[in-house]
Chain A
Amino acid sequence: MSEERPGGPPPPEATLLGKPVGRRIALKVLATGVAAATQAAAACSPLTAETEQEREVRLLAWREYIKGNYHFMTDEEKAETINRLERLAKLQRGVDVKIQTTKAQPGVLFGYAFNISKCKGFRRCVEACINENNLDRRAATQYIRIFEMEEGEIDLDLADASFEHEVPAEGHFYLGTQCFQCADPPCTRVCPVGATWQEPDGIVVVDYDWCIGCRYCMAACPYWARRFNWYEPEVPVEELNPNQHYLGNRARKKGVVEKCTFCIHRSRQGRLPACVEACPTGARVFGNLLDPDSEIRWVLAHKKVFRLKEDLKTEPRFWYFTD
């Protein structure tokens, strides 16, 4: 197939390993080489063709990937990861979020009381919780469940948590559940990596960047208070709550567990959780158990209270009471 070209050496593209080759073979080799080069370039595109912004995202994400558990971070490390997370939110989603690392106030232990006589099942708390905590809109994640119970009945298995009719219904009362922030939480014991723990003010939190998604905590919780992200949570940018806490309502990832934190970004600043603030009937009481003048202490002292599954000795800091 090779034939000598008259008039000088062959052109460079028509040689293979120093030997002159024919046009057909040369074209074939050339085509193969170009295709391979293109594939290689595509495979290595972050190294070759990334923009400045992509490079920054890649470096920030890598630093985030190798950081430690929040529980053991120093204040400087916390500040660094906050800077990275806020920068990532700006680069990836174009939102200006403010992530706080507010610590627990000394002498504060949060307690919650729920008046089953007052709750009418309006579910404004659920709405406020979704908006406040940036819950996944796509999977319709909800921390709060409102059970419609028949009067005289206390079995939650027989209750309806998906009512859509006008409330309050005749002959029914309403009982809401969420994370009870147990004093002896079984969910934190079973975590194999220490990604969930109880804070000094009683709030059980999750480090979303340390969670491996094994869901042991979900199996351990007797109240079904934890939620798993099967997907990357989707929140419309215009509805995103930019006031966030590292252990609370910041962006979660796919494959991690999340839970109610009594709105840790609000309650640690002296504000009420969103569910308490949204309740139109005043059925929810929130306060400091160590303050003898607090409303929660008054309720515990003067009302008949009960808790769910007390025989499990998880000691929830969440009481139900009646008028």
Chain B
Amino acid sequence: MIPIRISKTMLCLAALASAGCNQGNLRPWERLPPGATTTPLDSTTKAQNTSRQPGVLGAVETVPVVGWTGPGGESLSVDRRTAAMSAGPSRQFGSITLTIALRDSSAGLTQYPCTACHQGRKIVMENKRIKDAHQNIQPVHPKQIGSHCATCHASENVELLALQDGQRATMDQPYRLCAQCHFAQVAAWAGGAHGKRLDGWQGRRVVMACPNCHDPHSPALRPRIPFRAPQIERIHSPIPWSPAP
């Protein structure tokens, strides 16, 4: 369904670009205000669109994020790569591939790389939780399916994620793991309805990866106290105030 809809959308834009000033067929919100020009998108954007090829997974380039800093004011860099969807999401997307610049998600891990501690030690992942292993992680997440460590983590290499079809994903590709169950969310994420965009609405699309917001072991967002606006100081009172929002 989705490829068909997107092709419809593109037809709409082609019609819009070719129709020029003819705004009669457009929906009201698509009509341009007086004085606006109907210049079609510039050639660079088109070139980018046509150059989208089904690519391999892996970093293409690492570029800094301009205009947005991460938690604590630290600068971010992102790996730009083609998000090729395996198994689950490919049914959702069909033949569409999306070029998404992902924020490097493994940078925020506190106990990464794993080989910093696990050097030369064989890691046994059994179908039960070991008491003295990673006590700071209390997994509550995929408990409905009776999961354990080896459900998501590769036994032979703890720095890889294990997909259900036997493939392996790196820590920078968590969406491949999440997409196995949450395919609707990943479809929305790839399209633009889910996930936070970081680097401006124009040009490069930089979005957050799944673990940037959701702790994989406890993915629900925690409640917070909302921001409270500064209170009005009623010094000279009798002047009428704009009603408080």
Contact = CB atoms under 8 A, between A and B. Distances in A.
B88 to A, nearest CB: 18
Contacts of A120: 221, 223-224
Question: How many interface residues does chain A have, given as a range?
Answer: 35 or more
Interface stretch (A61-69, A79-87, A245-253, A267-275): A267-275
22 contacts: A107-B41, A138-B233, A140-B229, A140-B230, A166-B225, A167-B223, A199-B33, A200-B36, A230-B242, A271-B201, A279-B196, A281-B213, A288-B202, A289-B30, A291-B41, A294-B192, A295-B191, A299-B191, A301-B8, A302-B193, A323-B185, A323-B188
Interface in A123-146: 123-124, 126-127, 130, 137-142, 145-146
A183 B37 contact: no
Interface in B20-38: 28-33, 35-38
Interface stretch (B10-18, B75-83, B106-114, B151-159): B10-18
A316 B9 CA distance: 20
Given A140-B231, A292-B12, A299 B192 contact: yes
Nearest to A168: B223
| Interface of A (DSSP majority class) | loop
A138 to B, nearest CB: 6
Contacts of A303: 188, 193
B193 A294 contact: no
Contact of A295 (B32, B192, B225, B228): B192
Contacts of A231: 239
Given A140-B232, A184-B28, A293 B245 contact: no
A271 B200 contact: yes
B208 interface: yes
Interface string B147-175: 00000000000000000000000000000
Interface string B209-245: 0000100000001011111111111000001111011
B203 interface: yes
B33 A198 contact: yes
Contacts of B30: 109, 289-290
B52 to A, nearest CB: 10
